[in-house]
Amino acid sequence: MIPSAFEYVAPTTVEEAVQALAEAGEDAKVLGGGQSLVPVLRLRLAAPTAIIDLSRISELRGVREDGDAIVIGAMTTHHDVLNDPLVAQHAELLAAATRTVGDPQIRHRGTFGGALVHADPAGDLLAPAVAMDAEMVIAGPDGRRTVPASEFFTTLFTTAVGADEVLVEIRVPKKTGWGAHYEKFNRVAQAWSIVAVAATVRTEGGSIAEARVALTNMGATPIRATAVEEALVGQQAGAESIRAAAQHAAEGTSPMSDGNADADYREHLARVLTGRAVATAAGVGG
């Protein structure tokens, strides 16, 4: 299939991109890595009049250190996130989830920022962003603003990024030395997550000192499993205590039913997978 015709603009700076968006009007779309957008265009599920391609904006790519955070350019590919030493050192959870995104070819093109702004509730990078309290830096006609991950995802396929804005970078607070695991459950390797759990924990002397857990595809947006986190903190890092804490995983979720899974099954999976994710993150066997 072939997309409908559109105008193509490839700005080289963020300011040019914002300008181009303003000029192109509301039927424009921003092209990141294109790994969801191009298939959507091919299927003609969308027919924008203009495409603003961010791939020529070099400042949007790469990972840098900034105090107690690492800052990831929105157009950094999944492949580059995976191979970045700062990510490996300070954001193991993000690396673990990124490893499960799409397939190798898709990871070569697809971008971190693109995946976040696409905001597919089954996307694998939303929950880690929420779990790690990432902050999104957004550029628009009035300059830049920062939105915390907890407020970034507003509903299905919708984020705080306005029609005249672009996501510039993602600030991820360092979780140096934390254990992490992304437990993904899908039917075949190519399929999207039915449910997945992002967990990262800091242990101290055999106890869980801090825990961050978030769920993929348990609602219209990624959901932080705060009840699980609270139940974990201060507990011995053991199979039983983790399993008990994981029983809270479905609290506050509103999973949907589709051809792969009904809501009650998703709730069940959330509990089981949370237990597994946290156990692995905490280095607890079994």
CA distance 253 to 241: 22
Closer to another protein by Cβ: residue 64 or 206: 64
Residue 197: CB minimum distance to another protein, A: 12
- Pick between residue 202 and residue 218 the one whose CB is nearest to another protein: 218
Which of 179/219 has CB closer to another protein?
219
- β-bridge mates for residue 221, sequence order: none
C-alpha–C-alpha distance, residues 122 and 135, integer Å: 20
Q: 83 phi and psi, to 5 degrees?
A: -100, 10
In the bound complex, what is the minimum distance in angstroms from residue 203's beta carbon to another protein?
Answer: 24
Supply the DSSP string of 160-205, one letter for each residue.
Answer: S--TT-EEEEEEEE--TT-EEEEEEE-SSTTSPPSEEEEEEEEEET
Number of residues written out for the chain: 286
Least spacing, CB of residue 44 vs another protein, in Å: 7
For the bound state, the minimum distance from the C-beta of residue 211 to another protein, rounded and expressed in Å, comes to 21
- 279 vs 166: CA distance, rounded Å: 37
Q: Report, in Å, the least distance between residue 148 CB and another protein.
A: 18
Please report how close the Cβ of residue 14 comes to another protein at its closest, in angstroms: 13
Question: Which stretches within the chain are classed as H helix?
Answer: 14-24, 37-42, 78-82, 85-90, 92-98, 104-109, 112-118, 126-131, 149-152, 226-232, 239-246, 263-281
Give whichever of 122 and 147 is closer to another protein, judged by the CB atom.
122
* Tokens at 73, concatenated: 């350019």
Q: Of 122 and 209, which CB lies nearer to another protein in the complex structure? A: 122
Q: Which residue type sits at 81?
A: V
Residue among 115 and 281 whose Cβ is closer to another protein: 115
